[in-house]
Structure 1
Amino acid sequence: MSEVDRTGGPGAVDVPSGQPARVATPGPGDPRLGRLSLNQRTTAGWSLREAIDGCLAAGLPSIGLWREPVAEVGLDTAVRWVQESGLRVSSVCRGGFFTVSDPDAVERAHAENVRALEETAALGAATLVLVPGGLPEGDRDLLAARERAAAAIERLVPEAESRGVVLGIEPMNPIYAADRGVLSTLAQALDIAERFTPQQVGVVVDTFHLWWEPGVREQVLRAGERIVSYQVCDWITPLPADTLLARGMMGDGHVDFASFSRWVAEAGYTGDVEVEIFNADVWAAPGADVVATLARRYVELVEPHLHV
Structure 2
Amino acid sequence: MSLALNQWTTRRWSVAEAVDGCVRHGLEAVGLWREKVAEQGLAQSVKLVREAGLRVSSLCRGGFLTAGGLPGEDGRRAFAQALESNRRAIDEAAELSAACLVMVVGGLPGAQPGEPLPAAGFSRDLAGARERVAEALAELAPYAGERGVKLALEPLHPIYCPDRAVLSTLGQALDLSLAHPEEQVGVVVDTFHVWWDPRLFEDVARAGRRIASYQVCDYLHPLPADVLLGRGMMGDGVIDFTPITRAVRAAGYTGDVEVEIFNAEIWAADPDEVVATMKTRYEELVLATG
TM over 0.5: yes
Structure 2: give runs of 5+ residues left out of the alignment.
69-74, 111-121
* Secondary structure of 1:274's aligned partner: strand
- Name the CA distance, whole Å, in 1 between partners of 2:9 and 2:179: 33
1:117 maps to 2:84: no
Residue in structure 1 matched with residue 219 of structure 2 by the alignment: 235
Please tell me whether the aligned partners of residues 90 and 149 of structure 2 are also in contact (alpha carbons under 8 angstroms).
yes
Pairing partner for 2:100 from 127, 134, 150: 127
Matched, 1:75 2:42: yes
Q: Give the whole-Å Cα distance in 2 for the aligned partners of 1:78 and 1:150.
A: 31
Separation in 1, partners of 2:230, 2:268: 15
1:104 equivalent among 55, 77, 98: 77
Matching residue's letter, 2:39: E
Three-state SS of the structure 1 residue aligned to 2:188 is strand
- Aligned residue for 2:172? 188
Aligned mates of 1:244, 1:117 — CA distance in 2: 25
Structure 1 residue 49 displacement after superposition: 1.0
Q: Does 1:294 align with 2:278?
A: yes
Write the distance in 2 (CA, Å) between the matches of 1:47 and 1:166: 25
* Counterparts of 2:187 and 2:248, CA distance in 1: 12
Unaligned 5+ segments in structure 1 are 1-33
> Deviation per CA, 1:114-143, whole angstroms, max 9, x where unpaired?
000010010111211100101122210111
The whole-number CA distance in structure 1 between the counterparts of 2:173 and 2:109 is 20
Report the 3-state secondary structure (helix = DSSP H, G, I; strand = E; otherwise coil) of the residue aligned with 2:196. coil
Aligned counterpart for 1:61 among listed residues 28, 31, 39: 28
| Counterpart AA for 2:108 | L
Q: Distance in 1 between matches of 2:277 and 2:40?
A: 28
Superposition map of 1:33-48 within 5 A: 35-48=2-15
Write the deviation string for residues 265-298 of structure 1: whole angstroms up to 9, x where unpaired: 1101000000000000110100000000000000
Contact kept in structure 2, 1:244 and 1:278, CA below 8 Å: yes
In 1, Cα distance between equivalents of 2:281 and 2:99: 26
Structural mapping, 1:143-292, within 5 Å: 143-292=127-276
- Equivalent-residue separation in structure 1 for 2:141 and 2:17 (angstroms): 33
SS of 2:97's equivalent in the other structure is coil
Supply the RMSD in Å over aligned alpha carbons. 0.9
Match for residue 60 of structure 2?
93
TM-score by length of 1: 0.87
Dislocated runs of 4+, deviation >4 Å: none
Assess if the C-alpha contact under 8 Å between 1:126 and 1:164 holds in 2: no
**C-alpha separation between the residues in 2 aligned to 1:99 and 1:223?**
24
**DSSP-derived class of the 1:121 partner:** helix
- Equivalents in 2 of 1:121, 1:83: separation in Å? 13
Cα distance in 1, alignment partners of residues 41 and 154 from structure 2? 26
Distance 1:265 1:54 in 2: 27
Aligned residues between the structures: 273
In the alignment, which residue of structure 1 is the partner of 2:126? 142
C-alpha deviation, 1:237, in angstroms:
0.9
C-alpha separation in 1, matches of 2:94 and 2:181: 19
What is the percentage of aligned positions where both structures have the same residue?
58
Q: Verify the 8 A CA contact 1:97 1:134 in the aligned structure 2.
A: yes
